[in-house]
Structure 1
Amino acid sequence: MPGFRKGYVRLGPNKVVMPLYYLEFAERIEDMKVRDSDIWVISHPKTGTTWTQEMAWVIGNDLDFEGAKTPLPERFPFLDHSPLFDYTDILPKIPDFKLPDFVNDSVSYIENMPSPRYIKTHLPWELLPKQIRDGSKKPKIIYVARNAKDTCVSYYHHCKLLEGYTGNFEDYCKLFLGGSLCFAPFWPHVLNFWKRRDEQNILFLKFEDLKKDLPGVIKKTADFLGKDLNEDQVEVLSNHLSFASMKNNRAVNYEAATEINRKFNLVLAEGQFMRSGKVGNYKEVMSPELIDKFDCWIQENLAGSGLTF
């Protein structure tokens, strides 16, 4: 990590991996005032988060495509953005650059937003604000999950592009399987929401269903958010949310972030935030032996849960 991270800690009963800098925000997140009117999109990284955010925001804002031209991180901020990236040592080296408010202090940015707030987080259940965990506040929560093998491949490219990972893919897979990456371990993250999927304020989605039947998932999400869309609106939104459209949409494709990293040589890897958007992409990069190892691990962790991908 090129200056963003000074180490990691393990927290909570599942020994969740977080950057050391997270500790400076942990109490504020724990005690955060949650609103029943909030809409949260929660996920393990690289499982369809941005896709789900854009879908939820556009539905919730009555298909306001003009408003959707505002960059997604401004209208749907990432709660754990600031805890993930410590710029203390970096900013003095780039004096002509000012961090946006939603990066400089993402927690304060969200606290000061008018309702209804749209909030993204990768935090697992046990690190969410206390008011969500104890049920005293019941915001709408959309959790999106993806098969572990594609998640691992996508997260590998993400960490190279945005977080400065310089190791090889095989070593990265060992870290993924061993629960030693940010927000890991993977299965408790997913299963803690899967087991709450029937609660009235929680909608559990799968990346694979978004790929297979986007209009169906749009209707399901609209119903969850209390919105009524006709067939024409569903079609228009489906086109807006297509992979090609999302990849070319600067409001959602995070090209601005990757350009800053390149401009100031913060990360040396080339690539795009939105890379392939495919199901089964792992087959192109994983060896048969590695696939077998993942399959055994998946089977072991999903046994008896009823969750399949």
Structure 2
Amino acid sequence: MVKPTDIWLCGYMKSGNTWLSEIVSLIMADGVVDRVRERPITERVPNIFIVDNDRCNSVWFEGLIDPRITVNHLELKYLPRFEGKEGKMIYIVRNPKDVCVSLYRFQHMTKSRAIDWDEMYGFFLDGHLIIGDWLSHVTDFWLAYGTGNHPSFTAETVANITTHCSLRTMRDNPMANQSDLMTRVGKPGAQFVRKGIIGDWRRHMTDTQSALFDERFGQQLRAIGLPVCDELADAQRCMRDTGRIIV
């Protein structure tokens, strides 16, 4: 059952969900790092739809102290409708080229059978992954929740969150870098938080593959008014234009 104080973090896999979880967890701690430093992110922001231990299930989640924060990768049709009074939903979107590369790299860090880049590229482009089609996932959420207000925080809270949630700090922090998960399923030395940058897809995709991604996703994303940028500078410019950051 969804409570008015719930915060549900949603997004396609490898879209920055762990980063978002750490940021929101720290926001709810008023930017006080000591309140989150010693607890794994999987405890602070559990995914109740992935049962990886005896506690991580709906019964356990019902008993958590409010406000409850949870993360998931489910399609919109499998989730309750959020209108504000039922709780809050935050959806994260990442450039699909970087999502595809991140999924490929993550798959190679786990103990499962590794597939080659062309296989992953083809599966992603055709929407033939177990988590579904990226474009459908993003489009459904964007059309349902694509507008909204953006709350402000104190300068001290923002500064603490910015420092604690930097890429280097996240990568060096086992509580945020899902070290418990990688110990179970990852190869030796694998890290859940890898590069966290825009444009790493250029190291993997050919110009032809990039063009096919643009053809597959670009027109519909423009049609629904959802900008997805290939470069960091373009992303920053877009965020400034929409009022989502102040620089």
Query: Do the structures match in fold with TM over 0.5?
Result: yes
Aligned position for 2:20 = 52
Identical positions, percent: 26
The reply to whether residue 253 of structure 1 matches residue 177 of structure 2 is yes
- Residue-by-residue CA offset, 1:219-260 (whole Å, 9 max, x unaligned): x4xx1xxxx632233112111111001111111101222123
In angstroms, what is the RMSD of aligned CA positions? 2.2
Shift in CA distance, 136/198, structure 1 to aligned 2, threshold 3 Å: closer
- Residue-by-residue CA offset, 1:258-305 (whole Å, 9 max, x unaligned): 12335xxxxx58632111111010001111121111111112432411
User: Paired residue for 2:132, among 156, 161, 184?
Assistant: 184
Aligned position for 1:279 = 198
The reply to whether residue 67 of structure 1 matches residue 21 of structure 2 is no
Q: Distance in 2 between matches of 1:146 and 1:115?
A: 29
Amino acid at match of 1:282: W
Aligned position for 2:62 = 111
Report deviation, 1:38.
0.2
Aligned position for 1:301 = 220
Q: Secondary structure at the match of 1:174?
A: helix
Q: Distance in 2 between matches of 1:34 and 1:276?
A: 34
Report deviation, 1:34.
1.0
Give the paired residue count: 227
Q: Secondary structure at the match of 1:66?
A: helix
Q: Distance in 2 between matches of 1:165 and 1:121?
A: 24
Aligned position for 2:167 = 243
Shift in CA distance, 40/136, structure 1 to aligned 2, threshold 3 Å: closer
Q: Distance in 2 between matches of 1:66 and 1:134?
A: 31
Aligned position for 1:23 = none
Amino acid at match of 1:241: C
The reply to whether residue 229 of structure 1 matches residue 143 of structure 2 is no
Q: Distance in 2 between matches of 1:231 and 1:134?
A: 29
Amino acid at match of 1:111: E
Q: Distance in 1 between matches of 2:144 and 2:180?
A: 36
Q: Return the structure number with greater strand share.
A: 1
Q: Distance in 2 between matches of 1:247 and 1:298?
A: 31
Report deviation, 1:152.
0.4
Structure 1 gap segments, 5+ residues each: 1-32, 86-98, 204-219, 263-267
Aligned position for 1:78 = 47
Question: Is the Cα contact below 8 Å between 2:31 and 2:160 reproduced in 1?
Answer: no
Question: Is the Cα contact below 8 Å between 1:158 and 1:273 reproduced in 2?
Answer: yes
Shift in CA distance, 247/134, structure 1 to aligned 2, threshold 3 Å: closer
Q: Distance in 1 between matches of 2:105 and 2:190?
A: 8
Shift in CA distance, 163/122, structure 1 to aligned 2, threshold 3 Å: farther
TM-score when normalising by structure 1: 0.68
Question: Is the Cα contact below 8 Å between 1:42 and 1:142 reproduced in 2?
Answer: yes
Q: Distance in 2 between matches of 1:134 and 1:115?
A: 17
TM-score when normalising by structure 2: 0.84
Report deviation, 1:160.
2.8
Amino acid at match of 1:101: R
Q: Distance in 1 between matches of 2:29 and 2:159?
A: 17
Structure 2 gap segments, 5+ residues each: 229-247
Question: Is the Cα contact below 8 Å between 2:82 and 2:89 reproduced in 1?
Answer: no
Question: Is the Cα contact below 8 Å between 1:164 and 1:269 reproduced in 2?
Answer: no
Aligned position for 2:240 = none
Question: Is the Cα contact below 8 Å between 2:31 and 2:158 reproduced in 1?
Answer: no
Aligned position for 1:101 = 55
